[in-house]
């Protein structure tokens, strides 16, 4: 059970606002603010703090490894999800018969654009599409994954409608057919429990500005240990070398661990904030967070049904995570109208997005639903 009063006491903003926007950017926790300040204090006191660059990025690496239940050596600390995707793309060969990449129509743009950008290197991208129920089931991949497939690069949870894919079934199918699987967990990590090894994925990317309670400008990449030696990224740099201090300009000597997928100076100040956010998530516990959010999103769906405003997020517990997407004929104006009432949401396409975290409770849902009930005539579904 999560002590919501304790949880809320970390976030001054929650005294003012009903915050349902962690799927875009989390509110700032006091301890994350203190972590930013610790960086500034150190700079004031010592100037050059090179040792901390290494220590803080290694701390983030270890915390992400604990979170995903993998080894530190399987984690690269990156500047963004996009940077991790590009590092992997650069290490894959698309010149032969296995040149296909399967993505879905649920991807955040970057996890499709990076793969389409590999076309000059021989890659061909195909898209798994939603069925009549709007969901992309594992069956949708049946005819797309075959012996031409190099990689299946898929989102864990869709940023537009909150649908959560059936990752174990898709991974099993991909592996049976000799394809690798990359999971974009940005809309999931921190809001649900993720065991990367149990899921069986080969790569996973995510970042720290949403449910991980950190900041923008930092991400991670998980690479399954057995794959690391065979993958040599051509997107690289001095922080990816076996020995950073060697300063050897005569050759590329990639690090034996997932550090080979890093590039230049780590996002130092962001590492401070990310570490504080990750510690908080681990302290609360991803099992407890997932259970709390499942109950809240269920309550939100039930209350939406009460006011006759359906959601496009799957009702099945195993097919959603923290976001409830609510169709509206004017989703942007609906978001602004709610903001004027101190209810913070976001919108994409024709959906209002309400995303929940461990510091939300039923009273937040009640406030949202009361406002929507009043606004339904002007902003209901098209
Ligand atoms: C699912 C998903 N993937 C990737 C990104 C973008 O990540 P980055 O800007 O760190 O590359 C986002 C950002 O909102 C996202 O929601």
Show pLDDT as tens, one digit a residue, over the chain (382 residues). 899 999 999 999 999 999 999 999 999 999 999 999 999 999 999 999 888 899 999 999 999 999 999 999 999 999 999 999 999 999 999 999 999 999 999 999 999 999 999 999 999 999 999 999 999 999 999 999 999 999 999 999 999 999 999 999 999 999 999 999 999 999 999 999 999 999 999 999 999 999 999 999 999 999 999 999 999 999 999 999 999 999 999 999 999 999 999 999 999 999 999 999 999 999 999 999 999 999 999 999 999 999 999 999 999 999 999 999 999 999 999 999 999 999 999 999 899 999 999 999 999 999 999 999 999 999 999 8
> Which residue among 26, 89, 153, 159 has the greatest number of ligand 1 atoms within 8 angstroms of its CB, and so is best to mutate?
159
- Which atom of ligand 1 is found nearest the CA of 155? 1
Ligand 1 contacts CB of residue 331 (under 6 A) = no
**Count of alpha carbons within 13 angstroms of residue 323, beta-carbon side:** 33
**CATH tag, 32-282:** 3.40.640.10
346-348 β-sheet, strand order:
323-327, 351-355, 346-348
- Which atom of ligand 1 is found nearest the CA of 216? 10
- Which atom of ligand 1 is found nearest the CA of 84? 11
Is there a shared CATH topology between the 4-20+285-376 domain and the 32-282 domain? no
Ligand 1 contacts CB of residue 155 (under 6 A) = yes
Distance 370 CA to ligand 1 centre (A): 31
Decide: 72 and 62 in contact? Cβ < 8 Å: yes
Distance 243 CA to ligand 1 centre (A): 30
**CATH tag, 4-20+285-376:** 3.90.1150.10
Distance 138 CA to ligand 1 centre (A): 23
Distance 81 CA to ligand 1 centre (A): 6
Where are the chain's structural domains?
Answer: 4-20+285-376, 32-282
Distance 97 CA to ligand 1 centre (A): 30
Distance 135 CA to ligand 1 centre (A): 21
Distance 293 CA to ligand 1 centre (A): 21
pTM of the model: 0.97
Residue closest via CA to ligand 1's atom 7 equals 81
């Amino acid at each position: 059970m999560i002590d919501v009063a304790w949880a809320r006491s970390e976030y001054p903003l929650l005294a003012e606002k009903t915050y349902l926007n962690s799927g875009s950017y989390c509110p700032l926790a006091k301890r994350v603010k203190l972590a930013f300040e610790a960086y500034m204090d150190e700079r004031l006191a010592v100037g050059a703090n090179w040792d901390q660059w290494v220590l803080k990025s290694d701390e983030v690496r270890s915390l992400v490894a604990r979170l995903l239940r993998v080894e530190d050596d399987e984690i690269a600390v990156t500047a963004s999800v996009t940077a991790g995707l590009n590092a992997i793309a650069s290490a894959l060969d698309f010149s032969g018969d296995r040149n296909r990449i399967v993505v879905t129509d649920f991807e955040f743009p970057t996890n499709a654009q990076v793969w389409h950008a590999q076309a000059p290197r021989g890659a061909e991208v195909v898209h798994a599409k939603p069925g009549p129920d709007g969901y992309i089931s594992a069956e949708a991949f049946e005819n797309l994954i075959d012996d031409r497939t190099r990689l299946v690069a898929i989102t864990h949870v869709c940023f537009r409608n909150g649908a959560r894919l059936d990752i174990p079934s898709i991974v099993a199918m991909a592996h049976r057919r000799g394809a690798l699987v990359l999971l974009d967990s940005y809309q999931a990590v921190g809001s649900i429990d993720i065991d990367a090894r149990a899921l069986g994925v080969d790569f996973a990317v995510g970042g720290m500005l949403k449910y991980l309670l950190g900041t923008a400008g930092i991400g991670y990449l998980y690479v399954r240990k057995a794959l690391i030696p065979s993958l040599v990224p051509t997107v690289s740099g001095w922080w990816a070398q076996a020995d950073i201090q060697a300063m050897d300009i005569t050759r590329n000597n990639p690090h034996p661990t997932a550090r080979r997928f890093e590039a230049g100076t780590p996002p130092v100040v962001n590492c401070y904030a990310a570490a504080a956010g990750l510690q908080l998530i681990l302290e609360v516990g991803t099992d407890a967070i997932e259970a709390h959010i499942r109950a809240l999103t269920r309550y939100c769906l039930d209350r939406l049904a009460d006011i006759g405003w359906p959601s496009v997020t799957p009702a099945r517990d195993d097919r959603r995570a923290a976001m409830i997407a609510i169709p509206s004929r004017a989703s942007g104006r609906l978001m602004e109208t709610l903001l004027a009432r101190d209810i913070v949401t976001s919108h994409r396409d024709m959906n209002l997005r309400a995303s929940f975290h461990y510091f939300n409770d039923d009273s937040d849902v009640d406030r949202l639903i009361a406002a929507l009930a009043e606004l339904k005539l002007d902003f209901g579904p098209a």
